């Protein structure tokens, strides 16, 4: 983006419309707003953030984040603070989220103060959402009176419940959030909160509830919404996993899309390696040669060279897969049963279906 664009957001947008050979009236019609409303924004008037977000996404999505940050730097009205905080946090602009939270925390607006304090807590706790300390701090917001704070508190409770394996409480709280979403009038916030809920639901419907159709439906809804790269990564990973026992080609194609998105973040190398290792499991499961680029750990190297996996039978991370692959190789019902047990013990019931399918294949009849 050039310095001229960076200095004058609205001039850039007007020039972009002219270069597209569309009239402002045509652009407004595509956006579903009146041409006068679009003109109002382009001429410097304050409008709701969801309109700004919609305009920028239509005219210059490639530079969306930089353009919206320029818009924020002009000053944010109190009505747009909830959307601004959620936008920056969801786009992983944590430094800017912190700046906003600190800048507007002391404004004479109780709703703004409450939300800014909550986002500050989120920033301080984003690596420990599963801790009891975080839940204790969250209780400080239990008497909130504003809809946006109520929803975000419940969203954070969902993270805590899910990360601690309390799946019934997770689903119950998600139902409460969905009831509250009917009261949200701001289209951007409704979309953003819905994206957060879907990120958790898509995992539960696949891994814990083993409802393939519903999990894929939610994953595709996430991709259609295209709210953030982080949410798209989740969707591609879930789709890749969902096709693991069904279609090698579809499964690996989604995993590769997931890795491609992760590669845009220099600090996400660990997640890239995890997904590459999962592809090595996929290739082994489908009797494919494991490619060198996916043999990223000692365990996946042993898989590649058909090595001895027995030393991993008591390894907390790999024992499920070690027993699965040796159980398949040896047609061992005992090892497949153990693999099924360990997957089920971790409440990953979808992956527990892998050894169960193999037990059926070798003719083992047992009610699991």
Instruction: Give the relative orientation of helices 248-262 and 229-242 as an angle to the nearest 10 degrees.
Output: 160
Q: Pick 197 or 76 by higher pLDDT.
A: 197
The upper half-sphere exposure of residue 77, i.e. CA atoms within 13 Å in the direction of its Cβ, equals 8
Mean pLDDT of 342-353: 96
Return mean pLDDT, the chain: 92
Question: CA–CA separation, 368 vs 363, rounded Å?
Answer: 14
pLDDT of residue 7: 53
Beta-carbon contacts of 102 under 8 Å, excluding residues fewer than 6 positions away, are 116, 120
Beta-carbon contacts of 148 under 8 Å, excluding residues fewer than 6 positions away, are 82, 111, 115, 184, 189
The upper half-sphere exposure of residue 289, i.e. CA atoms within 13 Å in the direction of its Cβ, equals 3
* 3 state SS of 290: coil
Q: Pick 10 or 357 by higher pLDDT.
A: 357
**Per-residue pLDDT tens over the stretch 182-207:** 999 999 999 999 999 999 999 999 99
pLDDT of residue 242: 98
pLDDT of residue 98: 95
**Per-residue pLDDT tens over the stretch 18-27:** 888 788 889 8
How many contiguous H segments (helices) and E segments (strands) does the chain have?
A: 21, 0
What is the sign of the dihedral through the CA atoms of 13, 14, 15 and 19?
A: positive
SS3 content of the chain, % helix, strand, coil (to 5): 75, 0, 25
């Amino acid at each position: 983006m050039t310095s001229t664009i960076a200095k004058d957001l609205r001039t850039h947008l007007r020039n972009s419309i002219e270069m597209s050979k569309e009239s402002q009236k045509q652009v407004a019609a595509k956006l579903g707003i009146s041409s006068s409303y679009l003109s109002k924004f382009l001429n410097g008037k304050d409008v709701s953030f969801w309109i700004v977000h919609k305009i920028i996404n239509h005219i210059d999505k490639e530079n969306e984040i930089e353009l919206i940050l320029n818009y924020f730097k002009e000053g944010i009205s109190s009505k747009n603070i909830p959307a601004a905080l959620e936008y920056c946090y969801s786009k992983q602009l944590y430094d800017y989220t912190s700046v906003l939270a600190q800048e507007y925390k002391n404004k004479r607006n109780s709703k703004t103060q409450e939300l800014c304090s909550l986002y500050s807590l989120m920033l301080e706790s984003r690596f420990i959402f599963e801790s009891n300390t975080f839940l204790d701090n969250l209780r400080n917001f239990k008497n909130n009176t504003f809809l946006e704070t109520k929803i975000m508190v419940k969203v954070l409770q969902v993270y805590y419940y899910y990360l601690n394996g309390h799946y019934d409480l997770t689903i119950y709280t998600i139902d409460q959030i969905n009831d509250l979403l009917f009261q949200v009038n701001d289209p951007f916030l409704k979309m953003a909160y819905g994206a957060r809920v879907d990120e958790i639901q898509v995992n539960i419907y696949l891994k814990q509830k083993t409802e393939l159709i519903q999990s894929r439906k939610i994953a595709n809804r996430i991709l259609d919404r295209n709210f953030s790269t982080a949410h798209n990564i989740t969707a591609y990973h879930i789709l890749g996993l969902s096709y693991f026992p069904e279609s090698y080609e579809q499964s690996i194609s989604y995993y590769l899309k997931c890795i491609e998105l992760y590669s845009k973040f220099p600090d996400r190398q660990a997640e890239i390696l995890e997904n590459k290792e999962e592809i090595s499991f996929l290739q082994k499961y489908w009797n494919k040669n494991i490619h060198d680029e996916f043999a990223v750990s000692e365990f996946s190297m042993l898989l590649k060279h058909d090595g001895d996996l027995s030393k991993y039978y008591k390894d907390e991370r790999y024992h499920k897969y070690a027993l699965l692959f040796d159980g398949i190789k040896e047609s061992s019902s005992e090892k497949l049963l153990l693999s099924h047990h360990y997957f089920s013990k971790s409440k990953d019931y979808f992956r527990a279906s892998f050894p169960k399918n193999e037990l059926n294949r070798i003719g083992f009849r047992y009610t699991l």
